[in-house]
Structure 1
Amino acid sequence: MKFEGAFLKVALITGQLAKDMVERFSRDSKVESEVISLPIQVASLMNAAYIAGRLRGYPLEGFDLILVPGLIKGDIRVIEDSVGIPVFRGPKHAADIPPVLDNIGRIELSKEVPACELLSLELRMRASKIFEEASHRRDLIDRPGNFEVRGLALGVDYPMRIAAEIVDAPLLSDEEIAAKARYYMESGADIIDVGMIAGGGRAEDAYRAVEAVKAVVEAPISIDTFDPEEVKAAVEAGVDMVLSASKSNLRRLSSILDEQALVVVPGEAYVEWPPDERVKRLEKLLAEAEELGVKKVLADPVLDPTMSPGLTRSLVAYHLFRERNPTTPLFMGIGNVTEMLDADSVGVNALLACMASEMNVSVALTTEVSDKARGSVRELSKASRMAFTAKVRRSPPKDLGLNLLILKEDRFRDHPYPRNLEEQVKVVWAPQPKPPRMDPVGCFRILLDRDEGSISAIHYHGGLDKPRLMVKGKRAEDIYAKLVDLNLISSLRHASYIGYELAKAEMALRLNRSYVQDEDLFAGSYEHS
């Protein structure tokens, strides 16, 4: 059931401890609401029957609907039958009350699913619809600056496409190339790029690598090389795009290409040209490519690493090129920045994707060479969707139902600390404990299997050097419960230690961080600076 949110009065049901917090968050919404605090300390301990009994006879005149805590147990229809007013599940956390109230007219409230989950799903579906509809518009393909590459529409009127490079492909086996191609597609790549080795001379490997990718994906394939012989072999294998052409190889490449798209750069080696000189050289080469009959061209002013040689100047070149050439598709190598910056890639990718989208970049290329850049394809893919959705909505990229918040949140959902409680109870500060005694049942070595995405707890009995048993799982809680069921832990200190280490291991797996038993998960991070 949907309501007109601006004309509603909503009753918000909660317990004693959360009353002040619910009232504070509800004031952030434009929808009129009133908090009804029932005589129970913790709201999560309420159930539907309890709320129905407490509200029976309560003065509810003037309320249009009631929202109960999202996680209460029981069928909330009994509350509605008791009070005669529509009752639905609200959000799980008080911090989500404002967006839920403000979107009541846009989401279908439920008696089974918490409203925050419905809101998140609705926003994600809207963002996905905007992106997918724009991605598949066939009426735009014949406009200047648009073309098709193996069924994929790209250009100035389409969302930014993500190309993922298989770096040093000639050094990999066919199986390794295929595995990387599948992984990148699962991560959200639109184009698989075969990265060759500087210096060229590996035409057979170029052919082999393109064939290996074609065997497992149907997406467009590009090849990253300046060597015309490698390009020729890749074209024979069925490549769809070539990176890159410069003054030295443009004429030769133009004679090799058929319907392949071509990325043009100002030069093969970095030269400290001012932005306007970089753009002029690129424009001259693009004009030459057109004269040579190359029909599908993307311009790449080249994105430079930060500080050396300098990101800002290259961004100025992109911006200047876009102002002077509004209908020429742009190509941007974002991996040049993420790989050369010791910072979490998720924020770097999000910011660069938004900047690229502002300049209407058609293809963004990234890599996952270093461990710190692992996950960049997935991050850049989501960031591209966020940026495009925000552009269509003419709003900043926030509250879209999509986000790249990993370690931080848009709003805290924890309960406020009851400072006055310290005046009512004895407070004991916990010192660092003494080293525990060896558990007579045995000890554990905990390791991650990153390929499988699992955690292994390897059990050693007594003083034995060889393990007796391995318990595997994807969640710390599951492994811990199994260890207890198997009677492999006999002391409380050991139990708390294993629980802590397994939770650390699960967090490391989810966050792509190193896990070393008995070491701090965030050693060296800003939290300890």
Structure 2
Amino acid sequence: MSERLLFLTGHLAFPRLERMVAGFGETARDWRIHDIGVKVAALMTQEIIQRRLPRPVEADRVILPGRCRADLDALAREFGVPFERGPEEIADLPAYLGHGGRAPDLSRHDMRIFAEIVDASKMTVDEVVAKALVLQRGGADVIDLGCLPDTPFDHMEETIAALKANGLKVSVDSANVSELERAARAGVDHLLSLDEETLRILPDNSSVVPILVPRPHGDLDSLQRAARIAHRRGISAILDPILDPIHFGFAASIARYVELRAREPEAEIMMGTGNLTELTDADSGGVTAAMLGICSELNIRHLLTVQVSPHTRRTLQEHDAARRLMYAARADRALPKGYSDALLQLHDRRPYAATPLEIAELARELRDSNFRIDTTQDGVHIYAKRFHHVAGDAMSLFPHLGVEHDGAHAFYLGTELMKAEIAFKLGKRYRQDEPLDFGAAVDINEEDATRFKEMGHTMRKAGEGRAEDASDT
């Protein structure tokens, strides 16, 4: 028997939810929907559920609308089954349920991110530590200290000690062998980059794990020789055939990664993506997804990232999101699709939560005069009791609103309508009183999100009656 799911909803959403659940086919044969007796699903409260949900609940899980604020633990104790908060929009239900009827598990990954601080030698110890902690919060597993040519790094040892004291893994990246020797003596975890000649700076059975590169560039034979030397000397190593920029050997370098994996099926391999993300004028999220897809196929488990150009300022977070996405999809033997929206930064796969007809039906049913704002494929909708207008831009809607003499309400509606216009033009999901979701491109600030909701609640209360007045104009 498949898992028994029970969905709680309201009158307006029931038919649409019923059609969507039916679309799951055989997977949904033991799924049921219960109309809790409110018109709008988001209005159901914990008390309403406790009064109106029949007992016993014959389900393995009960899924509530995402906007329902009921105490899930209290409901689970009372009814004896787990309650969980589903997506806010019915359109997002398939992605939420994921493969096998459960939300995707994005907690797992098998790739380590080395985040380079390229100008560490020009920074103070405190500045390096502060930046490293930010990188760690963004997903970095190893902090890579970049050394610069002709720039002394006199405080390298002190910097390494400070990072280690903060519980961080550390690597040093230098073309200067003497700097690499100092870093090894200071207790780093990794050295970038050694070859079959410079590997001699490490003693036998060293605990330092070097990243080995070919010398000359592109020579996989030399890289394999270095790997064999490291193995004979009891040194664990990571191999990096080097990713080259577009038009400077990019395609050939991808081929080298494929060939190296064929030659060395068990080797640990690194890919440094900075030559692509930093040196290509394209949003880095999609680039990162494609490159980590290659890494996932080739079992490349070590990534070197750089964030120097302003257009790559979120590359670290994108790598973290991509490694989780690829792991989940590979574990399911599936396409990396329908697991996460973190890398859908400009355009959403499902930008509209409702159709124009559904919005029109909802507008006809409304019995209060608070403005609601939504987007569909035909534009931005603003509607309330006996009021409904749609346009492709916010300015075209303003003359219909009747808020010329209500500054606070006009400010609120202007903010929301411009946000809705941006979402409509980009193909992003718009949710009233919530920030637009740009995935890994922007941190989610819970404090700002709460302020959005509070401002929306205050403005709607202050504007009660405004839409009814506007409908008479």
SS at match of 1:431: helix
State the aligned residue count.
393
Gaps of 5+ in 1: 107-118, 132-158, 441-488, 514-529
CA distance in 1, matches of 2:164, 2:300: 26
SS at match of 1:341: coil
**Equivalent residue number for residue 185 of structure 2:** 236
**Equivalent residue number for residue 20 of structure 2:** 25
Is 1:207 the equivalent of 2:157?
Answer: yes
Q: CA deviation at 1:497?
A: 4.8
Q: In the superposition, relative to structure 1, how do residues 288 and 417 fare at CA in structure 2: closer, same or farther (>3 Å)?
A: same
Alignment of 1:324-473 (within 5 A): 324-398=263-337, 404-409=343-348, 411=350, 414-418=353-357, 431=396
Is 1:279 the equivalent of 2:244?
Answer: no
**Equivalent residue number for residue 446 of structure 1:** none
Q: In the superposition, relative to structure 1, how do residues 27 and 308 fare at CA in structure 2: closer, same or farther (>3 Å)?
A: same
Look up the equivalent residue of 2:396 and give its one-letter code: P
CA distance in 1, matches of 2:319, 2:222: 29
Is the 1:228–1:252 contact (alpha carbons within 8 Å) kept by the matching residues of 2? Answer: no
Is the 2:205–2:235 contact (alpha carbons within 8 Å) kept by the matching residues of 1? Answer: no
CA distance in 2, matches of 1:328, 1:187: 27
SS at match of 1:5: coil
Q: In the superposition, relative to structure 1, how do residues 368 and 17 fare at CA in structure 2: closer, same or farther (>3 Å)?
A: same
Look up the equivalent residue of 1:304 and give its one-letter code: D
Q: CA deviation at 1:401?
A: 7.1
Look up the equivalent residue of 1:333 and give its one-letter code: G
Is the 1:187–1:377 contact (alpha carbons within 8 Å) kept by the matching residues of 2? Answer: yes
- Root-mean-square deviation (CA), in Å? 4.8
Q: CA deviation at 1:491?
A: 6.2
Q: CA deviation at 1:321?
A: 0.7
Q: CA deviation at 1:304?
A: 1.2
SS at match of 1:178: helix
Q: CA deviation at 1:396?
A: 3.6
Q: CA deviation at 1:68?
A: 6.1
Deviations 1:101-137 (A, max 9, x none): 7889x8xxxxxxxxxxxx54xx43xx54x65xxxxxx
Look up the equivalent residue of 2:294 and give its one-letter code: M
SS at match of 2:270: strand
Is the 1:5–1:102 contact (alpha carbons within 8 Å) kept by the matching residues of 2? Answer: no
Looking at CA atoms only, which structure, 1 or 2, has the larger radius of gyration? 1
CA distance in 1, matches of 2:247, 2:335: 30
SS at match of 1:361: coil
CA distance in 1, matches of 2:97, 2:199: 62
Q: CA deviation at 1:314?
A: 0.8
**Equivalent residue number for residue 44 of structure 1:** 42
CA distance in 1, matches of 2:255, 2:190: 26
Alignment of 1:63-462 (within 5 A): 69=65, 71=67, 91=86, 92-98=88-94, 119-120=102-103, 123-124=104-105, 128=107, 159-198=110-149, 202=152, 204-215=154-165, 217-246=166-195, 249-250=197-198, 253-254=201-202, 258-267=206-215, 278-288=219-229, 293=233, 295-305=235-245, 307-398=246-337, 404-409=343-348, 411=350, 414-418=353-357, 431=396
Look up the equivalent residue of 1:190 and give its one-letter code: D
**Equivalent residue number for residue 486 of structure 1:** none
SS at match of 1:175: helix
Q: CA deviation at 1:509?
A: 9.9
Is the 1:264–1:282 contact (alpha carbons within 8 Å) kept by the matching residues of 2? Answer: yes
Q: In the superposition, relative to structure 1, how do residues 256 and 335 fare at CA in structure 2: closer, same or farther (>3 Å)?
A: farther
Alignment of 1:484-523 (within 5 A): 490=407, 493=410, 496-497=413-414, 511-512=441-442
SS at match of 1:24: helix
Q: In the superposition, relative to structure 1, how do residues 90 and 25 fare at CA in structure 2: closer, same or farther (>3 Å)?
A: farther
Q: CA deviation at 1:28?
A: 2.0
Is the 2:191–2:209 contact (alpha carbons within 8 Å) kept by the matching residues of 1? Answer: yes
SS at match of 2:279: coil
CA distance in 2, matches of 1:55, 1:256: 69
What TM-score, normalized by structure 2, do the two folds share? 0.66
CA distance in 2, matches of 1:290, 1:76: 54
Q: CA deviation at 1:377?
A: 2.2
Q: In the superposition, relative to structure 1, how do residues 87 and 281 fare at CA in structure 2: closer, same or farther (>3 Å)?
A: closer
Is the 2:121–2:153 contact (alpha carbons within 8 Å) kept by the matching residues of 1? Answer: no
What TM-score, normalized by structure 1, do the two folds share? 0.60
Q: In the superposition, relative to structure 1, how do residues 21 and 337 fare at CA in structure 2: closer, same or farther (>3 Å)?
A: same
Look up the equivalent residue of 1:227 and give its one-letter code: N
